[in-house]
Amino acid sequence: MLIASRLSLAWWPQRAWRIVGLGIRGSLVFGKRLPVPRCHQLFIRLPYVIWNFLRNLKLFGWFVWQSGSEYIYALDKASGVYRSNDYGANWTQIWATTTDVGKTGFIAQNPNVPTELWVSKSDGLYKLSNVQSGTVGSGITSAQITGVTTPGALVVTSDGTLYCIDLPTASAPVKLMRSTDGGVSWQDVSDEAFKAMATRPAQLAVNQNGRLYVSTLQNGSLIGYNLSPQMVG
């Protein structure tokens, strides 16, 4: 857990990180049974290393799947968000939308709220509610979240903390934003090392212990960790 008053994030390059998937550079995932993008198609890894083709997505962005759940959500950057409630055998488009800016087009899910989905697009960050049935405008509600100017990769930790990369612009550096209240308020938890090395962030992931990983397109992957009180003085 990151405690703003006592701790901060520190980062170092980790070029030995295992890259998963050929369709997206620098993908970071954790788990045992994994949907994986490959050449802009979506596959799922079953036991005994069997790969099943799920769906041919035009401009595949990202996916979320929670262990033990039959629901999988995927983002096609060219057409929108899709849902499968049978482990990928069939798909339903639940939101017709596009995102046409590089390093945008990601989805994340709160492990404690399976009916909630977070989507970062070129025009902002959105929260979808009641996603297990219906579509946006017919059972699913969509709300734009303020506080992150140019949202990129995002992830939700096991305690519901939301992290989202705020992509760099001509007038502002890259930031790692954190929200502990469901996107109501945000705090920049990136330090100068992160801002210097993550100028081209690609993916964001968190492991079961809460450690953050950010893959970049030029500096390998960065690992975020808490500094002890002794280290911060």
Q: What's the CATH code of the domain at 17? A: 2.130.10.10
191: Cβ contacts below 8 Å, ≥ 6 apart = 8, 9, 10, 11
User: 């990180």: which residue's tokens?
Assistant: 17
Give the global pTM: 0.72
Token digits of residue 130: 């009641």
Contact (CB, 8 A) for 165 and 174: yes
Q: What mean pLDDT value characterizes the chain?
A: 73
Contact (CB, 8 A) for 64 and 109: yes
Percent of the chain scored above 70 by pLDDT?
Answer: 70
**CB 138: neighbour CB atoms within 10 A?**
8
Q: Determine phi and psi for 193, rounding to 5 degrees.
A: -65, -40
Does 163 fall in a domain?
Answer: yes
Does 149 fall in a domain?
Answer: yes
CA–CA gap between residue 197 and residue 123 (Å, rounded): 25
Percent of the chain scored above 90 by pLDDT?
Answer: 27
Contact (CB, 8 A) for 99 and 122: yes
Kindly report, residue by residue over 190-223, the tens digit of the pLDDT: 888 888 888 888 788 888 777 788 878 877 777 7
pLDDT given for residue 6 in this prediction: 27
Residue predicted with more confidence, 218 or 54: 218
Burial class (CB in 10 A: 0-12, 13-18, 19+), 208: exposed
Does 108 fall in a domain?
Answer: yes
Kindly report, residue by residue over 101-154, the tens digit of the pLDDT: 777 788 999 888 999 999 999 899 999 999 999 999 898 999 999 999 999 988
176: Cβ contacts below 8 Å, ≥ 6 apart = 9, 163, 164, 165, 166, 188, 189, 190, 194, 198, 212, 214, 224
Does 132 fall in a domain?
Answer: yes
Does 4 fall in a domain?
Answer: no
For residue 52, give the amino acid letter: N
Q: How many domains does the chain have?
A: 1
Range of the domain at 99: 9-232
Does 2 fall in a domain?
Answer: no
Does 136 fall in a domain?
Answer: yes
Spacing of C-alpha 67 from chain mean position: 16
Does 21 fall in a domain?
Answer: yes
Mean pLDDT in residue range 91-96 = 90
pLDDT given for residue 129 in this prediction: 94
